[in-house]
């Protein structure tokens, strides 16, 4: 191993020396030495692509491999994961439960795709794709407001979000509509013309 510090041994060849030094040890200690040697081969290829040892170690620390070359284990169940997907990427797939987010006009349909009836109909077809990905349960989530975060004197401004035009009142009886506890009271407090609270002056009063 002293040869690693030798100026006669260039950096790309040093990982090869490490692999050859470990090879007989791995075969002695592990039954699955072949797969562990595969990991060392991978490290040697990564080292060949790095100009220096420092660069190789830095990249390995900042972006370590997510898996090693061991044999595949039992498959994971699909329901163990939360899958985030765009509607386009979801085409052809199905899940037991699907949440469609931001069912607000301006998101679905997108305000970038409402220039003519053909674009709006394409947005309607995209929503159909999203809704039909659910096998058992479908939830359409309509946020009541979007916040405009500018750290103003009276707190962040917000805009109320209209429900998607694809879900008119005439269709709501087909859904089980629900809202978080206290949502109606919160909306009344946030209604236009409601009393403003100067949070900054209250905080100053607490410490004066």
Q: How confident is the model at residue 2 (pLDDT cuts 50, 70, 90)?
A: very low
Q: Which residue has the tokens 């087909």?
A: 174
CATH architecture of 79-176: 3-Layer(aba) Sandwich (3.40)
Could you tell me which of 147, 164, 64 has the C-alpha nearest to residue 110? 164
As a whole number of angstroms, the distance between CA 108 and CA 124 comes to 8
Question: Quick one: average pLDDT of 66-71?
Answer: 61
Residue 117: predicted pLDDT: 92
Residue 20 neighbours by CB distance under 10 Å: 11
Q: How confident is the model at residue 18 (pLDDT cuts 50, 70, 90)?
A: confident
Flag whether the pTM goes above 0.85.
Answer: no
Per-domain boundaries in the chain: 2-62, 79-176
In this predicted structure, the answer to whether residue 127 has a pLDDT above a threshold of 90 is yes
Q: Look at the alpha carbons of 130, 131, 132, 133 in this order and tell me if their dihedral is positive or negative.
A: positive
Dump pLDDT digits (tens) for 146-155: 877 766 666 6
Residue 3: phi, psi to the nearest 5? -70, -15
SS3 21: helix
The size of the chain, in residues, is 208
In this predicted structure, the answer to whether residue 19 has a pLDDT above a threshold of 70 is yes
Could you tell me which of 3, 12, 5 has the C-alpha nearest to residue 50? 12
Q: Which helix (H) or strand (E) holds 202?
A: helix 199-207
Radius of gyration of the chain from its Cα atoms, rounded to whole angstroms: 29
Could you tell me which residues are beta bridge partners of residue 157? 148
């Amino acid at each position: 191993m002293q040869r690693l510090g030798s100026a006669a041994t260039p950096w790309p060849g040093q990982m090869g020396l490490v692999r050859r030094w470990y090879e007989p040890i791995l075969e002695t200690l592990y039954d699955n030495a072949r797969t562990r040697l595969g990991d060392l081969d991978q490290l040697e290829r990564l080292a060949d692509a790095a100009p220096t040892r420092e660069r190789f170690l830095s990249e390995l620390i900042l972006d370590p491999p997510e898996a090693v070359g061991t044999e595949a284990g039992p498959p994971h169940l699909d329901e163990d994961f939360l899958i985030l997907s765009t509607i386009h990427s979801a085409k052809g797939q199905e899940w037991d439960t699907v949440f469609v987010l931001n069912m607000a006009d301006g998101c679905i349909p997108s305000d970038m795709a409402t220039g003519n009836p053909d674009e709006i109909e394409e947005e309607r077809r995209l929503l159909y794709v999203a809704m039909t990905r659910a096998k058992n349960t479908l939830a359409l989530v309509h946020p009541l407001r979007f916040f405009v975060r500018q750290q103003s004197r009276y707190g962040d401004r917000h805009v109320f979000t209209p429900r998607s035009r694809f879900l008119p009142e005439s269709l709501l009886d087909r859904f089980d509509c629900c809202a978080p506890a206290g949502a109606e009271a919160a909306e009344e407090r946030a209604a236009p013309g409601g009393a403003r609270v100067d949070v900054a002056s209250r905080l100053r009063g607490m410490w004066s």
